Amino acid sequence: MKNEGASTPVERAVWFVENRLEDEISLQSIAESVGVTEHHLARAFGMATGQSLMRYVRGRRLTEAARFLAAGEPNIFKVALKAGYGSHEAFTRAFREHFQVTPEQFRSAASLNQANLVEPLRVDRSMFIQLDEPRFEENAGLLIAGLSSRYTFETNEGIPRQWQRFATYIGSFYGQVGSETYGVAYNCDDSGNFDYLAGVQVSQFAALPKGFTTVRTSRQRYAVFRHSQHVSMLRRTHYTIWTARLPNSGKVIADAPNFERYGKEFDPMTGTGSIEIWIPISEATNGQMKRC
């Protein structure tokens, strides 16, 4: 892998956050400091850590607030301000949601034992795997139909079951184009939520089974990576792409659906056979960064 020793956007984002926990922090400000788009950073952080970047920021701030309270800080509003909350009420709601107790109760207990603390993250470089250089391809656009569900980076373990539900439909409805299947990630937001559609290409959106969702992709240039290991290793390939390979490529990630393409050589029964991962890119470079 090229530039294996270089710092990644995720590592630079963590450094930025740790040095500004008591300042105003937004996804935009972190992305500008890191040098990638907001969309890229949100996806890369989620793939690398299993959580959204802004949820991590919130967890780190609340963790430091908990340490102040456990040490006996008498002024809870002062702690709230340090954690980025403008009122005692807003701080209490967020604190109770994270720790299951109020700030007052936490201070009275004066213990960090068994608390849901969020410590500074470290990128797990042992997750990186060797990947071939991507090819770059212009895609004229696709009509994809299938079953869709909403996930966060913390709850995406439901995707394999989604594929199991969809498998019975493959090849059995009108308008399917080819035998390839597609896993499309779209409608991503800054909080780490995204829709994932398990589907096939179709010639039109009419006469589809009840409950199906459709996604239309526009003409777009893509970087196409090949995953040649068992499907259970797919997360490591995504991890390597988003955390290391894309940042080192000089390409800007476009705010458009990205997808996995399972071709004829992929065997869903054994989980073997190559898979293509299509990442949308823009014509800009990191030196001409534009906001997605």
Is residue 47 included in any domain, yes or no?
A: yes
Is residue 123 included in any domain, yes or no?
A: no
Q: For residue 123, what are the contacts with CB-CB under 8 A and spacing of at least 6? A: 8, 10, 11, 14, 48, 243
Interatomic CA distance for residues 132 and 138, integer angstroms: 19
List the domain range (segments joined by +) for residue 149. 135-288
**pLDDT mean over 250-279:** 91
CATH code of the domain covering residue 185: 3.20.80.10
Domain count, the chain: 2
Helix (H), strand (E) at residue 196: strand 193-202
Residues 272 and 192 in one domain: yes
Interatomic CA distance for residues 254 and 58, integer angstroms: 27
Task: Determine the pLDDT at residue 284.
Answer: 57
Residues 160 and 88 in one domain: no
**pLDDT mean over 29-56:** 88
> What tens digit of pLDDT does each residue of 204-231 get?
888 888 889 999 999 999 999 999 999 9
Is residue 114 included in any domain, yes or no?
A: no
Is residue 2 included in any domain, yes or no?
A: no
Distance, C-alpha 89 to centroid of its chain: 30
Residues 96 and 164 in one domain: no
**pLDDT mean over 8-16:** 90
CATH code of the domain covering residue 48: 1.10.10.60
Confidence check: pLDDT of 283 > 90: no
Confidence check: pLDDT of 44 > 60: yes
CB 76 within 8 A of CB 107: yes
Task: Determine the pLDDT at residue 249.
Answer: 77
Is residue 119 included in any domain, yes or no?
A: no
Is residue 104 included in any domain, yes or no?
A: yes
Residues 181 and 271 in one domain: yes
Residue 143: burial class (beta carbons within 10 Å; 0-12, 13-18, 19+) = middle
Smallest CA-to-CA distance from 223 within 188, 197, 248 is with 248
Task: Determine the pLDDT at residue 2.
Answer: 47
CB 225 within 8 A of CB 237: yes
Residues 173 and 41 in one domain: no
Comparing 18 with 44, the larger pLDDT belongs to 18
Residues 87 and 140 in one domain: no
Is residue 1 included in any domain, yes or no?
A: no
